[in-house]
Amino acid sequence: MAKKSASIGNYSIAQLDSGTIEVRRLSDNSLCDNTKEALREIAQSIGFRYDSDWNTRTFGSKLIDAIIDGVSPKSSAFIRVHGRAQNRAALGVMHAYLKINPQASLEDLRRAFPNALNPDRGVDEIFIKAEEKGASANWDGFFKEPAELLTLANGAQISVVKMWTKPSLDRLIEKAKEYGIELADLDVVDKDQCKVGGFYLEYLNGWTPPTPAPAPASAPAPTVEVKPSKWKTWYTIAFILIAVVSLVVAYLIINQ
């Protein structure tokens, strides 16, 4: 018995009660030998974005749901964030924002992700300067490890709050979509790839981070023409005349 199923084009996808995914061709009701490859072909034909790390059961189940609910349009996002936990996913979103907006300041970050997104944070600010404690008592309320810190264009380092509940993360995800950032399903994230900072970023649709603008070349120092002072010229002439007169006087005295 099929737990759920959907048909599109020449294919029928079914998830059996055991969880197994079957893909059949409607033209002759034949079973596709390579189920995952068939799922990829269907997904690509309808613009459904999938994670290459999904196993066949996860892939098939999500694709069936997408077909039943109406095929989702192909994502227009620049970056997909994979996080091993809720707060790590939130941290990854902030890093993704800086990849897209490398010139952003601390004030820009606070405007892009206002404190209202995370009322459960337990501290005053979502972002603080890395050298600040930001929390009372001995509570370690911010990401402080080198791989976790946000580095701004001016070299300043910023810490992100650690506390992110599910409702706060959901609000963050919706806000991040405005900036071309989406979040991978936490249940299917390959945690082996999240060793640095607890997240990794996947670039989508051929997007690559902008190349930092080169620093403007320093203008050459203006050449200043130093004109000799007229007084200096007269002093030089007077000095020469005095020297000549002195030599003449000395010569006359010696030859008397």
pLDDT digit string (tens) for 37-66?
Answer: 999 888 877 777 788 889 999 999 999 998
Distance CA 33, CA 173 (A): 38
Structure tokens of 193?
A: 């790839």
Quick one: average pLDDT of 113-121? 95
Q: pLDDT class for 218, splitting at 50, 70, 90?
A: low
Quick one: average pLDDT of 18-26? 91
Is residue 88's pLDDT more than 80? yes
pTM confidence score: 0.57
Quick one: average pLDDT of 77-83? 90
Q: Tokens 């120092």 — which residue?
A: 221
Distance CA 176, CA 190 (A): 21
Largest pairwise CA distance in the chain:
142
Q: Which of 107, 92, 125, 112 is nearest to 195 (CA)?
A: 92
What is the Cα gyration radius of the chain?
A: 36
CB-CB contact of 160 with 90 (8 Å): yes
Is residue 184's pLDDT more than 60? yes
Is residue 145's pLDDT more than 80? yes
Is residue 95's pLDDT more than 70? yes
Tens digit of pLDDT for each residue in 161-183?
999 999 999 999 999 988 889 99
Instruction: Round the average pLDDT of the chain to a whole number and report it.
Output: 84
Q: How many CA atoms lie within 13 A of 181 on its CB side?
A: 26
pLDDT attached to residue 39: 92
Stretch among 1-15, 131-145, 212-226 having the lowest mean pLDDT: 212-226
The most confident of the ranges 67-71, 195-199, 222-226 is 195-199
